[in-house]
Copies of this chain bind each other. A is one copy, B any other.
Amino acid sequence: MQTNSIAAVARTLKEADSILISGHVMPDGDSIGSTIALGLALGKIDKNVAMTSPHQVPDIYKFLPGSNCVQQGMPEGKFDVFVALDCSVPDRLGDELQSLVNDSVTVVNIDHHQSEKPFADVNYIDSNSASTGEIIYDLLKEMNIELDKNIATNLYTAIASDTGSFKYEGTKPTTHHKIADLLQFDVKVAHVSKSIFDEKPIEVFKVLQIALPTLEVSNCGKVAWISFDLMAKDRISAKDEHTEELVDYPRRIKGVEVALFFREISTGSVKVSMRSNYFVDVNKLAARFNGGGHKRAAGCLIDGGISDVREQIVAAAIEAVQRGSLND
């Protein structure tokens, strides 16, 4: 994939006076942490910086120093450079901000997702990196901007988020070397980790109380699922974000290969989240139902009653596991 050098990114930013930075829709820790870290760092070298996000900063990232400087949507004024972070396609910037990609502004894209077609004027894409936060770390070194506690806390959050606290496959020796450096700036590891991984609003537990009785495992023990229907949703004032972790419960059962989460989003419409642990390509499984995603995490939206949908998808998942086992 054609990509510019990190030095080219550094040069573009150094030459700019005013810079707008944004991450992606439904921002996660990598998106928000990278945005703030880069924003604070560029502020230190007297750039006129604005940080924004297509959607509001989620509550769990409001503890981040600098999070109050992140606006929402398109800010007023003109910018020399627009930096898009953690976005593999312009769509990920949301309707408003992606219009900048065809504007006269110089667009810089910094990302770690594999991408077919770089969309910016300057593209730095490193799919070997486990997070965009790691690339921002490299960029700040390249620009000789000194780190501080606030920048380090944001970069730590970005990197820890996208590696699941250093548990995921992409975690490399360089990831840990960077974190070792960041910890020198007195990052409150336990506090940050609690905030982003551990602490959850009471609604998450209320959702769990309702959903857990629906947890089931197939006879073969390799497919498990959990459900959340409209009636359950109405019983408590839970938002969709409070159901996000439910799929982890079937996924974590020893022996399970494919985990499914069925969420009724309206009468006759069911969202299915799919996860696999080791060998089944759930991207392919989801594609059979007009969905998609990654090998280990995918999803689809199906019309039908929740129990019919469940029956159909569970059968397909069991078949996929059987086929996958044969190929092992």
Contact = CB atoms under 8 A, between A and B. Distances in A.
Contacts of A209: 212-213, 215
A184 B171 CA distance: 11
* Interface SS of A by simple majority: helix
Interface string A248-279: 01011111000000000000000000000100
Nearest to A196: B167
B253 A205 contact: yes
A176 interface: yes
A165 interface: yes
Interface string A114-129: 0000000000000000
A202 B215 CA distance: 10
**How many subunits of this chain does the assembly comprise?**
2
Interface string A167-209: 1110111111101110110000110011001111110010011
Given A209-B215, A254-B199, A184 B173 contact: yes
A249 B177 contact: no
A166 to B, nearest CB: 5
Interface in A134-188: 164-169, 171-177, 179-181, 183-184
Contacts of A238: none
Nearest to A253: B202
Nearest to A59: B254
Contacts of A297: none
17 contacts: A164-B193, A166-B193, A167-B189, A167-B193, A167-B194, A167-B198, A168-B190, A168-B193, A169-B189, A172-B183, A176-B176, A176-B179, A176-B180, A198-B252, A199-B253, A205-B253, A208-B212
